[in-house]
Amino acid sequence: MNMDPTLENETLTAPAPDGPLDIEKIRMDFPALHQKIYGKPLVYLDNAATTQKPSWVLNVIQTYYVCSNANVHRGLHFLSERATHTYEYARSKAQRFLNAADSAEIIFVRGTTEAINLVAHSYGRTFLKPGDEIILTAIEHHSNIVPWQLAAEASGAKIRVIPVNDKGELILEEYERILSERTKVVAVGHVSNALGTINPVHRIIEMAHRFGAVTLVDGAQAAPHMDVDVQELNCDFYAFSGHKLYGPTGIGILYGKRELLEKMPPYQGGGEMIREVGFDRTTYADLPHKFEAGTPHIAGSVALGAAIDYVKHLGLGKIAAYEHALLHEATEKVSEISGLRIVGTASEKSAILSFVMEGVHPHDIGTIVDREGIAIRVGHHCAQPAMKRFGLPATARASFSFYNTPEEIDRLVAGLRKVKEVFAL
């Protein structure tokens, strides 16, 4: 792609492509895909854990450190002013990406985990009290469970859980049953990282708001794969991670409605988040800086802005359609393997395929296909309650991106057949 990685104008200069995605051309943007593992071409199917990075993003990181490395908001010299401009420009990109009403509603964090901890600590521990209830789902990532457990322990609140059916879909009748005036927070994943289930978050939020509850959506698995409009969802908080969106690790976004963020105390103290400091009293900076103590991950923020440019350039609608086609093809082909069972068969799914094979531990599946150059994830996927719900210690998980191909699905199927050969199944 014809891109200009300079920080003066760090946006894509090439026109958006017409027609379907040109996958072979896209793959040329990702250097990591063009390597061999154990002498075989890499098939990278661990995208739910983290995605590979396009050259566009890598170049922006390098250009920042070469041309604009300075601290933000604190200097009058040219480099500091340029760094500040690019940092805040990245914030405005995230605002437009989520369709937030105001850039002050966009907080830079280390990732989804820190975003949820921020809300659980700052909002939860401030406003929850004994007898209040927090509603989660049975298929949450640990990052959307443990922070709320800590908030509940600190406040005396209780946690309630929305169960799932055998397909991995939330049982909304049970959600309706446990909702009450005691419900103060509803925190739900937009997409399950363990099963691929796309949860009906719009309806969940609407139902929660009837009782005056605050809602948080863990969007780590959704933001890279579909259009997200926080105003249309009417969620109170939304979080996602840069490294799953083709950006760097250690950076992410927390969106929060201004009226809620204004009421919340700072999550951390230090430089940057203050207005005036004295030993008798400290006053805090305005949003969003109240929640961004210390020197931020400036290069990561700028690179996240570049990653947002990249996926918007391709078109999230096209990305979603292509990845859905990959999931459909992969589901059909692996289902032909005897003894393989897919875990998570919701009618609405993202491009995540979890499965088990009779007579084979998932760790053995992962090890054998790795020797074939195929990277998948095995384990409980930081979703142990979900695994327990299905009576499993772990699954194998293949997760797809727009840079994956039907030929790579065939490689996966061949690798899984190799597993059967090794175990004489």
Tell me the C-alpha distance between 67 and 361, whole Å: 50
Task: Please answer whether residues 193 and 165 qualify as being in contact, where contact means their C-beta atoms are separated by less than 8 angstroms.
Answer: no
Query: In the numeric block, which tokens belong to residue 351?
Result: 């491009």
Task: Please answer whether residues 160 and 176 qualify as being in contact, where contact means their C-beta atoms are separated by less than 8 angstroms.
Answer: no
The 3 state secondary structure assigned to 210-238 is HCCCEEEEECCCCCCCCCCCHHHHCCCEE
Q: Which whole-number Å values give the CA distances from 3 to 14, 49, 54, 78, 246, in the listed order?
A: 6, 27, 11, 25, 16
Tell me the C-alpha distance between 76 and 82, whole Å: 10
Catalytic status, residue 67: no
Query: In the numeric block, which tokens belong to residue 247?
Result: 């950006």
* Sequence-separated (6 or more) residues with CB below 8 Å from residue 383: 139, 140, 141, 142, 192, 193, 194
Q: Which of 49, 159, 382, 392 is catalytic?
A: 382
Backbone φ and ψ for 424, nearest 5 degrees, come out as 50, 45
Q: What is the pairing mode between strands 36-37 and 133-137?
A: unpaired
Q: Hey, which residues are catalytic here?
A: 382
